[in-house]
Amino acid sequence: MPSYESRHMLRVLDSPQTLANSFIDYCKRHHVKTRGWCRIGYVRRSPPRNANVNPDSCRLRGLIANEDIAKDESVVMMPVTACLHPGAAFRCEPFWRLLAPEVQSALSSVSCAYNSRIADRSLIRHNQLLLALYMTYLMLLRNCDAAQLSTTPGGDAIEYINFMPRNEGNFEQLAAHLACWLDAPEICRSAQASLASHFQLTQAEVRPVIIYALCMIYSRMVPVDHRACLQYALQSTPLAHAWDDVEATAAPAALPPSSSAGNDGGASGGSVHSGGANTSLVRDPISFLCPVIDMCNHSDHENVAVMVPDRDNLPVTGPVICLRTLRPVTKGEELTMTYGAAPHELKLIWGMQDIFQ
């Protein structure tokens, strides 16, 4: 990740322990459960090829098993309400009101649910831009008017955002790519200007925060394609009915358990239409940020996958997102998933110089 600590709007002055405690409090309030089976810790990675760096410095945070875990166990469980997603942005009225009408119109179009892009061949989707702008709003509020966070809908998500890394990974290429796409589209320039005006900042101060938020989305996102989960998350928003036409929005075919956040990993496997489409899954997944789960690093030999089960035992209503084991995991083993992308995409989107097995 590029070092943004010189950009004062991205600085978090609390100690790492304070940030960790606040993140734990956030998880407890939002019923994020690990059952003590895993912990967040530092894992070692080999340095990039031909890089003259100290191997001891090549560490990043990951999930580590606290004990032996059997196959098909839900290691991490959380309700949809614990996650950051476009629905949370829509429901934050102070944030939504500050956006210009033309920006609101573009971001509330039903095409946003189908991953429309802000420009042809751009990496950035409209729904990802919406989430990034919302995260930016919370970060700017933290620096400019922290007292207002307690009365802002979803304001406690700043405790989750603060725990996200500032100096892990290598995202220079991704950040540069994203920065280019923030220049041309009118929606990006208008939204950036609205945030700057609202907080009485320069656009040069706001821009790095938006880029950082986008980098966090691309490096930590869980692509959720479970229809009921998306309908619940986006209820009472402009995208609430985007998936009502089941046949038109269904995934083209049922996916194996290890490849989709929509597969329940259990007995049902979703409803399969006579034409071969899986109607419980949608064709276009939406990016969610899921606390704790987002600490999972990539491996070609994954041992966990994100799933939305049909049943759960959490004391909450609505769908639950789980991190479930695909095979037995031994104590001390890192929990990893496959990001399912080609090597060049892994390098660009997730900042990997090498793919570590």
Query: How confident is the prediction for the chain on average, in pLDDT?
Result: 84
Domains of the chain: 11-45+57-82+290-350 (2.170.270.10), 84-222 (no CATH)
In order, the DSSP letters of 123-188 are: S-BHHHHHHHHHHHHHHHHHHH-GGGGGGSTTGGGHHHHHTS-SS-S--HHHHHHHHHHTTS-HHH
Q: Which of 3-7, 68-72, 92-96, 319-323 has the lowest mean pLDDT?
A: 3-7
* pLDDT score, position 313: 64
- Measure the CA–CA gap between 330 and 67, rounded to whole angstroms: 6
pLDDT over threshold 70, residue 2: no
**Model confidence, pTM:** 0.86
**The pLDDT value given to residue 76:** 96
Helices (H) and strands (E) in the chain, counts: 12, 10
Cα 67 from Cα 201, distance rounded (Å): 49
The single-letter DSSP state of residue 27 is H
Give CA–CA dist 173/169, Å, rounded: 11
Q: Which pLDDT score is estimated for 57?
A: 54
Helix, strand, or coil here: 10?
Answer: helix
Q: Find the helix packing angle between 203-220 and 126-144, rounded to 10°.
A: 120
Residue 79 DSSP SS3: strand
Cβ neighbour number for residue 58 with a 10 Å cutoff: 15
In tens, the pLDDT along 322-343 reads 999 999 999 999 999 887 656 5
pLDDT, residue 272, reads 46
CA distance 255 to 264: 11
Q: What is the pLDDT of residues 149-208, one digit of tens each?
A: 999 999 999 999 999 987 666 677 778 888 888 888 999 999 999 999 999 999 999 999
DSSP letter (8 states) at residue 277: -
Average pLDDT of the residues in 69-82? 95
| Tokens (6 digits) for 290 | 């899921």
